[in-house]
Amino acid sequence: MPAEEPASPTGGTDVLRWVSLPIRDEPWPKSALLVGLIVLTAVIGALQAAFLGGLALLLMFILLGPYFLPCRYELTERGMKKFFFMFNRDRTWDTYKRYVIQRDGVFLSTYATPSRLDSFRGDFVRFGPGADRDAVIDLIRRRVGTP
């Protein structure tokens, strides 16, 4: 008879789901400053050259998209799913070797030691208003190697 895994606070088969939208979750002065910089870039770009201004706005939207667009997370005993615009990710916990708990989320790394490639290969799980921070951290601690 195989040994059973200890019961989890999420009930074992429950799914932790929430949506993160940083522009809504961050303090309003920070969001207002960012929007102001984007508007300033658009105005300067339009005055200089319409094409370059449009290109600058497009690049800013691509780079800052995670700040303005919602990202949906699902954490289960099997793994982590991240749904963002056209970039969805579904990974099992054995993909991750370590984690780093931060103020606004948890970074999951595919490397056992810090690497310059962390930001390209790892995933950041951002807490949102619907996230149970303690349950998320507990699940990640149980499923991922070392902090």
- Residue-range definition of the domain harbouring residue 44: 25-66
Q: Are residues 78 and 133 in the same domain?
A: yes
Q: Are residues 98 and 139 in the same domain?
A: yes
Q: Are residues 99 and 115 in the same domain?
A: yes
In the chain, the number of structural domains is 2
Question: Which residues, other chains included, contact 16 with Cβ-Cβ below 8 Å and sequence gap of 6+?
Answer: 10, 73, 74, 75, 76, 131, 132, 135, 136, 139
Task: Give a yes or no: residue 119 inside a domain.
Answer: yes
**DSSP reduced 3-state for 75:** strand
Q: Are residues 60 and 114 in the same domain?
A: no
Question: What does pTM read for this prediction?
Answer: 0.75
Task: Give a yes or no: residue 31 inside a domain.
Answer: yes
Q: Are residues 55 and 108 in the same domain?
A: no
Strand ranges across the sheet with 123-126: 98-102, 105-109, 123-126
The 10s digit of each residue's pLDDT in 64-120 is 888 888 999 999 999 999 998 888 899 999 999 999 999 989 999 999 999 999 888
Distance CA 64, CA 146 (A): 30
The 10s digit of each residue's pLDDT in 39-66 is 887 788 777 777 777 787 788 888 888 8
